[in-house]
A and B are shown apart, each in its own frame.
Chain A
Amino acid sequence: MDLNFTPEEEAFREEVRSFLKDKLSEELATKVRNGRDLNKADMENWHATLNSQGWLAPGWPVEHGGTDWDSVNMHIFEEECARANAPRTVPFGLGMLGPVLIKFGTEEQKATILPRILSGEDWWCQGYSEPGAGSDLASLKTRAIRDGDDYIINGQKTWTTLGQFANKIFCLVRTSTEGKRQEGISFILVDLDTPGIEMRPIKLIEGGFEVNEVFFTDVRVPAVNMVGEENMGWTIAKYLLGHERTNIAGVGASSEALSQLKALARKVKRKGKPLAQDPLFAAKVAEVEIDLEAMRMTNLRMLSGVADAQGSVSSMLKIKGTVIRQAINDLSRRALGATACPFPSEDVIGNYAIAPAQAASNAANYFNNRKLSIFGGSNEIQRNIIAKETFGA
């Protein structure tokens, strides 16, 4: 038992810190810290900065432009990025399609698509969920019917995150209605410029736009765009969901959110005293801090390979990580009292700031982060996964 990082790991942390200090602009970090929406250019710029450092796709093999970091290095990198308020990279190309192609793609797919993910020429989005296929993803109905050298796709995808910025989409489509539902699904790559595709934004609870519906009407896609064999999409989908779990707990992001919460509690006043000195509020903060400390250790145990990384531990971390993050969001909203009420874009009226700038989006972020326990396999689905492993049924 030794809970310390090695000197090499500490040196790596220093390297990451000094990179972030040099390359992350104060303006961008402030935007992230204050929970403001990032525009497309913000995300593209940070993507390019990481790419030129060679740190954009840490989980990829070196020959495809990745790093040789182990899971502890990746954890340190994620922790430092969160602490510095660097934007999260968009995961659809880097964390999802990339690993899928590296595992299942043809040499040509790897050679043409992977470099364009890194360069930022292609922005990928995800076509998985459908109006009738959420947690029960295998019930998806979007059809792809073979027609010569093409497939013709008809149907609808939804919850497509940042689809408004994307030029490509990877989709799960039904290529067979025979046999088990899971055995008639394929994984296919689609150019969003193809005729017959319409993307419509979905306005979310807090007023923001980050997800979309995508409609496919007689969309003709070359058959070479299929990844893996026809009807092998479920295997790929499962691989994708199981990939890159090092950050599933969001320890870095929650730690940063907690230290911002503490800073806010020192700044705002209740009954003439800093909120930080109110025992009721401070007790709630202390309790969530304890849960976070325990989860940090659970996460490190998983990364060190002691706890089972593939199975139920990652589901546990998903549940606990999202619950903790949401608890911090909840306290961050309540710390503001009435000043949490203004719509975030209207928090400065004239020259008059209603809430502290770094906290003006707290209520919006609270609402937005209700998604955490819903997406990526809802927390109830995660419980089913753990139960299946526990009871073997």
Chain B
Amino acid sequence: MDFTPTEDRRMIGDSLRRYLAEQYPIEHRNAVAYEGDFHDPAKWAELAELGILGALVSEADGGFGGAGFDITTVFEEMGRAICAEPMLGNLMALRLYAAHGEAERIEAIIAGAEKAAFGFDESDAYGDLDSITTRANGDTLTGRKTVVYGAHCADYILIAAQSDGGKLGLYEVAAADAEVLSYAMIDGAGAAEVILDKTKARCLAEDAREAIEAALDAGRVALCAEAVGAMDVLKVMTKDYLMQRQQFGRPIALFQALQHRLVDFSIEIEQARSITIYAAAKLDESDSKARALAVAQAKNLIGRAGKLVAEEAVQMHGGIGMTWEYSGSHYAKRLIMIDHQLGDTEDQLRTAMALSDIAEGV
């Protein structure tokens, strides 16, 4: 057993941390996250140059990473900076392109020349691949995908849709061919509604169910790591605030009621870090059931821990934690909203229950 990161991953993590600290400070982040294009093309190009996108793809598929721990290395840093760039959408798209041998597209995305997103949720099929109504008909798609992360600035959007054969297929749509309605999310960064009306589409696979599940699991692990990074930062902010804030003639850090609350959420952060490591390791396993169980377990715990940390951090900051101006409030929002992405605490618990051995043999 060895819990130390490899030298390569340490370097990627360190250089990304330095880059984001210098180039993506919270003022810049908030300007990008809530205004304009919800995306900074110049910074995206630099992230690509740093090799961040290449780290998300295996060597065999044209990158130089691609393992669970590569994903967590990148996303933990994204979380520390609550970076608003469309990394999640591109991660899932890269995994799907890799699963279907789309070397050319992968090369372009890794180089920062193209961006992609993945549309799966629908307003009546949230976290529910079985109820998707978007349909393929010949080489066109019709339907509506909701809250597609990163679609606001994507060149290509991958779409999960019912194929002619009734399976869950995977299609690629050029963003220019679809109606893409962009907006900012409450915690910053962009998404879009993607409306398809006999929109021209390229079929990657008539039956892409397994690849889609795997890509979503990669996205979930990424969100777990992002949450761990954000929680670490919010914990330090809260600790520093408690030590600096004076009431009743002393720093409020001296009050045991507050000390114990900070300790309780610190324990959950360690739990969150642990289970993210566990899920990242399982992401690379060929046993898809074991992978799905570990990922669901991880994201369930992350959902609970993230909510605890976010709510407690705001509470312990008092009024200042409620303000837009204070950066901690944006970390708290991100932590709460991560639970809404790719299945929340209860969704993950349902998955974990379905895959648990508790009812085996009854």
Interface residues of A (CB under 8 A from B): 1-6, 9, 72, 262, 265-266, 274, 276-277, 279, 282-283, 285-287, 289-291, 293-298, 300-301, 303-304, 306-307, 312-313, 316, 319-320, 380, 383-384, 386-387, 390-391, 393
Q: Determine which residue in B6, B242, B266, B358 has the highest number of CB atoms from chain A within 10 A of its CB, and name it.
A: B358
With an 8 A cutoff between CB atoms, is B42 at the interface? no
In the assembled complex, the CB of A245 is this many whole angstroms from the nearest CB of chain B, namely: 15
A295 to B274 alpha-carbon distance, docked (Å): 7
Taking chain A's interface residues, is the majority helix, strand, or loop, or is none over half, making it mixed?
helix
For the complex, what is the distance from the CA of A298 to the CA of B243, rounded to whole Å?
A: 28
Contacts A1-B3, A286-B356, A313-B270 given; indicate if A386 touches B263 (C-beta within 8 A).
Answer: yes
Contact A4 B1 (CB under 8 A): yes
Chain B, 1-54, CB within 8 A of any chain A CB:
1-6, 9
Do the beta carbons of A1 and B4 come within 8 Å of each other?
Answer: yes
Q: Which residue of A lies closest to B269 (CB)?
A: A316
In the assembled complex, the Cα of A195 lies from the Cα of B353 at a distance in Å of 60
Residues A291 and B356 in contact, CB atoms below 8 Å apart: no
Q: How far is the CA of A306 from the CA of B277 in the complex (A)?
A: 13
Cβ–Cβ contact A1 & B281, under 8 A: yes
List 8 tightest A-B contacts by C-beta distance, closest first.
A297-B274, A387-B259, A294-B275, A294-B271, A306-B3, A274-B362, A298-B274, A276-B359
Beta-carbon contact of B300 and A266 below 8 Å: no
CB of A391 within 8 A of CB of B271, answer: no
Q: A283 to chain B: closest CB distance in Å?
A: 6
- Could you write out 13 A-B pairs with CB less than 8 Å apart? A1-B6, A266-B359, A291-B271, A293-B297, A294-B271, A294-B272, A294-B278, A294-B301, A298-B270, A300-B1, A304-B1, A313-B270, A387-B259
Q: CA of A72 to CA of B2 in the docked complex: distance in angstroms?
A: 11
Residues of B within 8 A of A (CB): 1-6, 9, 69, 239, 242-243, 253-254, 256, 259-260, 262-264, 266-267, 270-275, 277-278, 280-281, 294, 297, 300-301, 349, 352-353, 356-362
CA distance A301 to B2 in the complex (A): 9
- A285-B280 Cα distance, complex, nearest whole Å: 23
Chain A residues near B243: list those with CB within 8 A. Answer: 391
Partner of A393, one of B3, B69, B254, B267: B254
Chain A residues with Cβ under 8 A from B352's Cβ?
A: 286, 289-290
Residue in B266, B275, B301 whose CB lies within 8 Å of A390: B266
Contact B271 A295 (CB under 8 A): yes
Task: Looking at the assembled complex, report how far the CB atom of A142 sits from the nearest CB atom of chain B, in whole angstroms.
Answer: 29
Which residues of A are found within 8 Å of B266, using beta-carbon distances?
312, 316, 386, 390
Contact in complex: B361, A266 (CB < 8 Å): yes
Q: Smallest CB-CB separation from B360: which chain A residue? A: A266
Which residues in A have their C-beta under 8 angstroms from that of B357? 262
Decide yes or no: A291 and B301 within 8 Å by CB, A1-B5, A286-B353, A387-B260 being known contacts.
yes
